[in-house]
Structures are given as C-alpha cells and as structure tokens.
C-alpha cells in the first residue's frame, strides 16, 4: 500500500487543508493581472495619450500662427515702406494738387527720385526742372468678399497695380503743421505730415475668411485675426519745390 505523507509548510509545520487552498490561490493570483488592473492601466494610458495629443496640437497651432504673423508682417513692411518713400516726396503747388478725396482714396504728386534736379528736358541752359509723378492710392471694397484690394497707379484714375489683396481697412490722414487734420476735399494745401493706418490678414487667414459664410461668425474671425500697422511720414518738401514737368 502506498504511504501518504502530510504536506508541510516551508517552516516544517503541518498544513491544514484550508491553508493549502489559500496558498494555491495566492500562487494563482500572482500569475497575472486582474481585469480591474488592466482597465485602470488602459484608462491612465488613454489620459496620457490625450495630454500628449493636446501638446502636439498646441505646438502645431503656435507654428501656424507664427508663420501667419511673419507673412503678414513681411507684406505690411513692404507696402508701408513703398508708401513712405513716395509720400515723403510729396509736391504741392498751384498746378500740382493734392486731391485728398478721402483717407482711403486720394491722388498726389511725388518727386521722381530717379531724376536729379536739373536733369529734366530743357530748352535753354537756364531751365531747370525736376521730374514728378502723379500717384493714386485706392482701397477697393466693392468685391463680394470681406477683404479689399489696395492698389497704386500712376495717373489719377481707376485700377492700377495691386499692392495688397488682404486689406480690411486703409487710411492716410494728412495733418497741418499745427496738428489739425487736413479736411477731405483739400487740393492746394501742403501738409506737414501724414499717418498711415493699415489693417490686413495674412494669406492663410484670408483663405479661411473666404470660406466662412458672411455674418457674425465671419466678422468675429476678421476681428480676431486682422493685424494693424501704423506709420508716420514727414514730408521732405514741406517748404515747397519748383516742379517742371510730369514724367
């Protein structure tokens, strides 16, 4: 007959049936994770993934906004620099008028910096002329979209070269030497300085603005995304300069 020996604990004591069952259950539980532990781990991992996704999305948005800001700043600097050079050489006399119809649409005469004084056409040795050009700045808001086109043209008429197609507002305010604003409709008064006000969108924001239906949502988008720029121009020819002919 096969002889049976009692099961003992590691310390040498005899184990009861209940102790043997508890020991086996403990060994079985240490073999893997419970369902609650797995669900908890998945939940924590999901939260970490969500936080990481938000951080990546925030970084991407910051890069997009930074690129849009650089694009708008570059365009505005180019346009304002061009206007400053032409406006600073403004000429007004009894023949060359400043047709200041409105702050967003006006005509003026500017010295041609490519021709030096005395190099214009002359009929005698005593004739000295300076070349001047007729310039026109105009903001056209007549299109179907929310943005206007800022254009510049030689000769005071419609059309011209497009300077900026993402303009929301544009104004040039002329001032006299005493600081009083030059009224619209002025023709023969030489101003002392002018303030250029320009608001615009970047190319990326302009594309999005055209997609949004017109209404409150589009207006809110324009208000949040448009960027404003300002420049003050003092005229080099404030004391007057004898002009000769139109180039």
Name the more confident of 246 and 153. 153
The contacts of residue 87 (CB under 8 Å, 6+ apart) are: 108, 110, 172, 194, 196, 233, 235
pLDDT in tens, 117-172: 444 443 433 444 456 677 888 888 877 678 888 888 766 665 567 888 888 889 99
Length of the chain: 247
pLDDT digits (tens, 9 = 90+) for 70-121: 888 888 888 888 888 888 888 887 677 888 888 888 888 887 544 444 444 4
SS3 of 125, please?
coil
Helices marked H in 30-146: 35-87
Mean pLDDT of 61-71: 76
Q: Is 192 a residue whose pLDDT tops 80?
A: yes
Q: Is residue 170 a contact partner of residue 183, using CB atoms and an 8 Å limit?
A: no
Mean pLDDT of the chain, nearest integer? 75
Domain positions in the chain are 60-121+128-246
Dihedral class, residue 241 (left if φ above 0, else alpha if ψ from -120 to 50, else beta)? beta
Q: What is the pTM of this model?
A: 0.65
Does the pLDDT of residue 195 top 90, yes or no?
yes
In the chain, beta strands by DSSP E: 90-91, 99-102, 105-111, 131-140, 148-154, 161-175, 193-200, 227-234, 245-246
């Amino acid at each position: 007959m096969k002889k049976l020996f009692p099961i003992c604990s590691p310390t040498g004591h005899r184990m009861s049936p209940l102790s043997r069952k508890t020991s086996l259950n403990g060994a079985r539980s240490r073999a893997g994770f419970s369902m609650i532990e797995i669900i908890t781990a998945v939940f924590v991992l999901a939260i970490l993934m969500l936080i990481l996704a938000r951080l990546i999305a925030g970084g991407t948005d910051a890069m997009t906004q930074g690129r849009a800001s650089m694009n708008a700043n570059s365009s505005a600097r180019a346009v304002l620099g061009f206007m400053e050079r032409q406006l600073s050489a403004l000429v007004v006399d009894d023949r060359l008028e400043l047709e200041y119809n409105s702050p967003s649409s006006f005509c003026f005469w500017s010295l041609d910096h490519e021709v030096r004084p005395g190099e214009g056409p002359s009929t005698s040795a005593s004739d000295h002329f300076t070349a001047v050009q007729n310039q026109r700045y105009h903001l056209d808001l007549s299109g179907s979209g929310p943005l206007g086109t800022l254009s510049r043209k030689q000769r005071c008429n419609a059309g011209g070269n497009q300077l900026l197609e993402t303009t929301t507002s544009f104004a040039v305010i002329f001032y006299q030497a005493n600081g009083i604003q030059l009224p619209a409709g002025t023709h023969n008064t030489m101003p002392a300085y002018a303030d250029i006000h320009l608001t615009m969108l970047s190319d990326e924001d302009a594309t999005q603005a055209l997609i949004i239906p017109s209404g409150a949502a589009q207006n809110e988008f324009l208000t949040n995304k448009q960027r404003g720029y300002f420049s003050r121009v003092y005229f080099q020819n404030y004391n007057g300069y004898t002009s000769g002919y139109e180039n």
